[in-house]
Amino acid sequence: MAAITEREERQIEEANTSGRPPVVFVHGLWLLPSSWDRWRVVFEEAGYTALTPGWPDDPNTVEEANAHPEVFAHKSVKQVADHFEDVVRRLTRRPAVVGHSFGGLLTQLLAGRGVAAVSVAIDPAPFRGVLPLPISALKSSSPVLGNPANYNRAVPLTYEQFRYAFANAVDEDEAKDLYETYAVPASGVPLFQAATANLNPWTEAKVNSRNPDRGPLLIISGEKDNTVPWAIASASYKKQKRNESITEIVELPGRGHSLTIDRGWRQVADTALAFVRRFA
């Protein structure tokens, strides 16, 4: 299991001493914990204490990440989920967990392990049992899945690839700004794990959606998301709604996969916060 960093230790200590309910943010591929900075402010102003753990070996800045892409390689779904669970279990209160993209899959994994009080999965990557494979999702993942050697690599997106997979629902100027501000390389392993999840009974991309301790779950879907289109989000919801806890889904019109970081991020944050407030 990856060691908890000094930054994460500080956030855990602050959360445990604050007396406020904690919320843990989980980023996905091609982003860093800093992608949640504005969200942290919103939730803390609402009375929560926010934690933004990284994936194991995450650099601190986008500049550092792009200078040393090799640090992202070989990170698997289980390795990352175990690291976040380690962080969560050091909290004195079960937190709300909010994740985006592969962070949305990790959020559901953590909920399935019974460590979350309430969860919000935003445009979540699919898990075993989620069957739809829309063409746009295949195209979005093709920069990684198109070459089997990428399983053992850290793979950056070109601007054109980022534009299609993340920033298709914003204008050109904003898309370029998002790419320069947020985009970093990503491990190829999780995408191969998700892509083969329905062929592998032992896959790490497997969610315990029936755990009675899962807690309430909201899935947020961006209407124009190419990477995780409605068909995937809806199929995830149909698997999750069999749980005895509350399960809800909402589609946000006109939003793409960059919905947590683009100029419309506050709408998404407020939607997540309203759900969290109902239960935590």
Give pLDDT tens digits for 263-273. Answer: 999 999 999 99
pLDDT > 90? residue 224: yes
Give pLDDT tens digits for 143-168. Answer: 999 999 999 999 999 999 999 999 99
Give pLDDT tens digits for 46-72. Answer: 999 999 999 999 999 999 999 999 999
Q: What is the pLDDT of residue 83?
A: 97
**HEC profile for the chain?**
CCCCCHHHHHHHHHHHHHCCCEEEEECCCCCCHHHHHHHHHHHHHCCCEEECCCCCCCCCCHHHHHHCHHHHCCCCHHHHHHHHHHHHHCCCCCCEEEEECHHHHHHHHHHHCCCCCEEEEECCCCCCCCCCCCHHHHHHHHHHHCCHHHHHCEECCCHHHHHHHCCCCCCHHHHHHHHHHHCCCEECHHHHHHHCHHHCCCCCCCCCCCCCCCCCEEEEEECCCCCCCHHHHHHHHHHHCCCCCCEEEEEECCCCCCCCCCCCHHHHHHHHHHHHHHHC
Q: What is the mean pLDDT of the chain?
A: 97
Give pLDDT tens digits for 22-32. Answer: 999 999 999 99
Instruction: Give the rounded percent of residues in the chain with a pLDDT score beyond 90.
Output: 98
> What fold characterizes domain 6-279?
Rossmann fold (3.40.50)
First to last CA, the chain: 29
pLDDT > 70? residue 90: yes
pLDDT > 80? residue 206: yes
Where do the structural domains in the chain lie, given as residue ranges? Answer: 6-279
Q: What is the pLDDT of residue 2?
A: 79
pLDDT > 90? residue 280: no
β-partners of residue 50 are 23
Q: What is the pLDDT of residue 230?
A: 98
Q: What is the mean pLDDT of residues 200-213?
A: 96
pLDDT > 80? residue 180: yes
Q: What is the pLDDT of residue 1?
A: 66
Give pLDDT tens digits for 7-43. Answer: 999 999 999 999 999 999 999 999 999 999 999 999 9
